Amino acid sequence: MDVSPKLVIGNWKMNGLREQTVQLATAVAEGACSLPDDVKLVICPPFTQLERVSDILETVGTDSKLQLGAQDCHTASSGAHTGEISADMLADVGVKYVLLGHSERRQNCGETDALIRRKVQAAEAAGLVPVVCIGETMAERQDGRAATVLASQIDGSLTDSFNGVLAYEPIWAIGSGVTPSRDELERTLFLLRGLLQSRLKMDDIRVPILYGGSVTPAQAPTIFSIGVLGGVLVGSASLDAKSFLRIAEAASLRLSSQPLSGPYRS
């Protein structure tokens, strides 16, 4: 069984004004301090709140159990790119992780695998950990093309020396309240592990594979029972500190077999 720390990433998307951000980030930071060492949290607020959250994490002191992430970056380190944010700018305000290739950006912004690969290179050059999202649509799944689509996204989006994180988010599950069955998810995770091993010129064990798509506290224990899973990418549930921290508790090998306790118990 994989004994490396489980990674729980919260994607706040386009949510979070100042007051809400301070309350949420503070609650998560304080809760993270009591988590066991086999869990690591990352929160990804909007660009406008990154420096504010960075200050909160520094003030609370999370001992690296909670780190700051961003939701995207540009391919260039600087220049005439109005409205864009570079990986170097993110690193400058304390960001450690960056989400790349989220399905919402692939669909809504027309991002291609080739563009995402360039963003991965920019993130790596700035010292950030790229978290690359991949996933199939319902039509692709029903047509039996999911494996082909995932293989193509891995080939096109990752560098040969990729040493970041891969996040599997089936597009049909995001925001739907529906998740794959445990057996289906386990088969897909093993497929992805095999694809990484065959396509990357490296030891694929270094690349954690996360699951994302309507992850809730109720579903988390079942999801984390899959040994090959490296963690989860959480959407709407990360906007509630109690829910997010309950998912983190479920990620812990030490706590997963015990009833949830303390202030985050339902």
Query: What is the DSSP annotation of 156-199?
Result: HHS-TT--SEEEE--TTTTTTS----HHHHHHHHHHHHHHHHHH
Look at residue 1 in the predicted model and tell me its pLDDT: 45
> What total number of domains does the chain contain?
1
Position 96 in a domain: yes
Which amino acid, one-letter code, is at 198?
A: S
Position 41 in a domain: yes
Position 12 in a domain: yes
Helix 50-60 vs helix 18-32: angle between axes, to the nearest 10 degrees?
30
Look at residue 205 in the predicted model and tell me its pLDDT: 62
At residue 146's C-alpha, the angle toward residues 164 and 130, to 5°, is 15
Look at residue 227 in the predicted model and tell me its pLDDT: 87
Look at residue 156 in the predicted model and tell me its pLDDT: 97
Q: Which of 210, 199, 229, 195 is nearest to 164 (CA)?
A: 210
214: containing domain:
6-264
Q: Which residue's entry shows tokens 């790229």?
A: 130
Low-confidence ranges of the chain (pLDDT < 70): 1-3, 201-205, 253-266
Distance between CA atoms of residues 77 and 79, nearest Å: 7
- For residue 175, say whether it is annotated as part of any ligand binding site: yes
Question: In terms of residues, how long is the chain?
Answer: 266
Give the CATH number of the domain where residue 217 resides: 3.20.20.70
- For residue 13, say whether it is annotated as part of any ligand binding site: yes
Which of the 8 DSSP states describes residue 5? Answer: P
Position 106 in a domain: yes
- For residue 119, say whether it is annotated as part of any ligand binding site: no
Q: What is the pTM of this model?
A: 0.92
Look at residue 255 in the predicted model and tell me its pLDDT: 54
Look at residue 263 in the predicted model and tell me its pLDDT: 32
Look at residue 201 in the predicted model and tell me its pLDDT: 66
- For residue 172, say whether it is annotated as part of any ligand binding site: no
Position 1 in a domain: no
Look at residue 164 in the predicted model and tell me its pLDDT: 96
Look at residue 197 in the predicted model and tell me its pLDDT: 87
**Which residues are marked as active site?**
102, 169
- For residue 252, say whether it is annotated as part of any ligand binding site: no
